[in-house]
Structure 1
Amino acid sequence: MTDPLSDTVRAAWTAGRAARNGWLTVPDPHLVEVVAAHAAGHGLLDALTLDLQHGLFDRARSADAVRAIAAHGLTPLVRLPAVDESIIGFVLDLGVRGVIAPMVSDAATAAELVAACRYPPDGRRSFGPVRTALRPGDDPVAVADSVLAFAMIETAGALDRAAEIAAVPGLDGLFVGPGDLGVALGIGPAQNREEPAIHDAFARVLAACAASGTRAAVHATDPAYAAARAADGFALVTAWSDVPAILGSMDGVRAAF
């Protein structure tokens, strides 16, 4: 039986490579399971992230999705709607192995994120395991110590304070959101982008993470672009996203006919 608390993201890091992430916004359990099974069976991805900020997952569908992802041996992650300790506690109780917090613009907010992920005395997470204590011998407190916490760099202020945010104790890294960051920098929203301002931002985030001993992550929808960012030094790269992938395959029909 696949361990529901397996962590293939850390396994990728131990192997010396970037972890490959998929992004899910469509809350259909069958779609999630098909993606998880195919990605795991062909060694395509290490993690799947449920987007609770701009996706359509509610609490019940989130639980279904986490089960499907974990059952096929991938690491379930969640992009939070905000730094909200009630939501963070809920998704971690489901067995999510890491959270990505949007719009973190200062070290104080990053510290709140970390505290919401850890039990006292290291944090203030409420104890109420759902899927992290299903089996005899499960230790949800020990599991909480290895939960990943990433702060998204999506504003000009966050970029200016990247070094301070990355240095927050217990934070695992910074996650660049190119869409919102592009809006903040005055160049508009886009993914897989090549503007000098974005590459400068990438370099600043990578430097901040290197200085603090944390890891940098980045969102993309194109696997070649994600691979290039991994070569730059990003440790977690989103290489596939459900809606862009579906639309891209539909555009392929137009090209063929």
Structure 2
Amino acid sequence: MVIEIDTVRAAWAAGRAARNGWLTVPDPHLVEVVAAYAAGHDVLDALTLDLQHGLFDRAGTAHAVRAIEAHGLAPLVRLPAVEESTIGFVLDLGVRGVIAPMVSDVDVAAELVAACRYPPAGRRSFGPVRTALRAGADPVAAADTVLAFAMIETADALDRAPEIAAVPGLDGLFVGPGDLGVALGLGPAQDRGEPAIHDAFRRVLDACAAAGVRAAVHATDPGYAAARAADGFALVTTWSDVPALAAGLDAAKAGFVA
């Protein structure tokens, strides 16, 4: 039986947080450059393709998954919504986990899990586009190891975090600080330090600990991500394409002295 290497779970087995990168630009060459460098220099364990706010279409998603897998990182997808056909499509491509946005109650979290698992555990349709290509592959067994994260991005979700975390089959909660900050009246931002946000982090961490699942969080600054890993988050975004490009341009401007 062949199941793809899961570098996220490997990081957890080694006793550390998994380092995640975030991609919104749907250029296959950029994806491959990032994946090759990140794998070759031990920068990341996973790369997430953002299908909610990124520009990936179905073909672009398939090309990106291939590029990420080719360099030994775990491909993940942030879904546009909890919708069965999209979830089935990306899982059939071989992604190792999905991150569902705006999950505000137990029912939606349960729908997410059901869409990720084959019957009788769920209702995923069987159509292994890429997951059955290798000799000895077992798509059904591989489906049991796919990660399913529900994003906590609303005030209702934060209040219901203990119940959502306890949904059977869910692997964890993923904090989206931008939308959560908007929901809490703080406005949009990343890498933020407001007491209300850090209180929200603690509530999510406690909910996950009580349910025996893992907590994840989005960031754009590696130092901030490291601090969140020290807090107990098991999956942290340490790099994101557009903020990184902007930071590189700022550094080029500051560093050029004619």
| SS of structure 2 residue aligned to 1:39 | helix
Distance verdict in 2 for CA 1:4–1:29, change over 3 Å: farther
TM-aligned CA deviation for residue 254 of structure 1: 2.1
Q: TM-score, normalised to structure 2's length?
A: 0.98
Are residues 1:23 and 2:35 paired?
A: no
After superposition, give the CA deviation of every residue in 1:83-134 in whole Å (9 maximum; x if it has no partner).
0010000000000000000000001100000000000000000000011000
Q: Is the 8 A contact 2:178 2:189 kept in 1?
A: yes
Contact 1:6 1:70 in 2 (8 A): no
Unaligned stretches of 5+ residues in structure 1: none
Gaps of 5+ in 2: none
- Give the CA deviation at 1:41: 0.2
Q: TM-score, normalised by structure 1?
A: 0.98
Residue by residue over 1:210-241, the C-alpha shift from the partner in whole angstroms, topping out at 9 and shown as x without a partner, is 00000000000000000000000000000000
Q: What is the match of residue 119 of structure 1?
A: 118
Work out whether 1:99 is the aligned partner of 2:98: yes
Distance in 2, matches of 1:169 and 1:84, equals 19
Identity of aligned residues (%): 83
Counterparts of 2:164 and 2:104, CA distance in 1: 8
Assess if the C-alpha contact under 8 Å between 2:3 and 2:137 holds in 1.
no
1:27 partner letter: P
Partner residue, 2:216: 217
Question: Which secondary structure state, in structure 2, belongs to the residue aligned with residue 237 of structure 1?
Answer: strand
Q: Find the counterpart in structure 2 of residue 165 from structure 1.
A: 164
Aligned CA distance change for structure 1 residues 33 and 4 (closer, same or farther; 3 Å): farther
Task: Report deviation, 1:256.
Answer: 1.8
Show the counterpart of 2:231. 232
Distance 1:9 1:136 in 2: 24
Residue pair 1:4, 1:71 contacting (<8 A) in 2 also: no
The code of the aligned residue for 1:173 comes to G
Question: Conserved in 2, the CA contact under 8 Å of 1:20 and 1:44?
Answer: yes
Give the whole-Å Cα distance in 1 for the aligned partners of 2:227 and 2:75.
Answer: 24
Equivalent position amino acid for 1:96 in 2: V
Residue 36 of structure 2 aligns with which residue? 37
Could you tell me which amino acid in structure 2 is paired with residue 34 of structure 1? V
Aligned match of 1:143: 142
Where do 4+ consecutive residues of structure 1 move more than 2 Å? none
SS at match of 1:123: coil
- Cα pair 1:94 1:130 within 8 Å, conserved: yes
Q: What root-mean-square deviation, in Å, do the aligned CA atoms of Structure 1 and Structure 2 show?
A: 0.9
Listed one character per residue, the Cα deviations across residues 12-49 of structure 1 (whole Å, up to 9, x for unaligned) are 00000000000000000000000000000001100000
Code of the aligned partner of 2:225: A
Cα distance change on mapping 1:120 and 1:10 into 2, 3 Å: same
Counterpart of 1:188 in structure 2 is: 187
Distance between the aligned counterparts of 2:247 and 2:130, measured in 1?
A: 35
The Cα shift of 1:6 comes to 1.4
Distance 1:145 1:204 in 2: 28
Deviation of 1:4 (Å) = 8.0
Aligned AA (1:20): R
- Could you tell me how far 1:253 is from its partner in structure 2? 1.8
What is the aligned partner in structure 2 of residue 156 from structure 1? 155
